[in-house]
Amino acid sequence: MNQRVVEGWAWTPEQTRLFYVTRGEGIPIVICNGIGVDWRTYWPEISMSLADSFQVVNWDYRGHGGSDSPIYPEQYDISECARDIARVMDALDLPKAV
């Protein structure tokens, strides 16, 4: 399958950039890294393997990896993280994902 890698950014309303990388084709899988790591720390081999059959999206939380830190520290919370996942999916025109 297609292992073409595409890097990009989704934007929050306050203009915080959220970095993502996507590879492969098929049913989208969005991988959340966990606090304190970025997509390059743990996921490259797993993502490349999954990309043989799926579209794999890795993205960095606010203040991690290639993403900007939020303007307001209170924006580090679970509900904002969920909205950020939706922003990344919207930037990639993904209506749903695993």
- The pair phi, psi for residue 11, each rounded to 5°, is -120, 140
Local structure of 48: helix, strand or coil: helix
State pTM to two decimals.
0.89
Q: For position 13, what pLDDT does the model report? A: 94
Q: Which residues contact 55 (CB under 8 A, 6 or more apart)?
A: 22, 23, 24, 25, 26, 27, 28, 29, 94
- pLDDT, tens only, 3-36: 788 999 999 999 999 999 999 999 999 998 877 7
Give the number of other CB atoms < 10 A from CB of residue 72: 10
Average pLDDT value over all residues in the chain: 90
Q: What are the pLDDT digits (tens) for 37-47?
A: 777 777 788 89
The CA distance from 86 to 82, in Å, is: 7
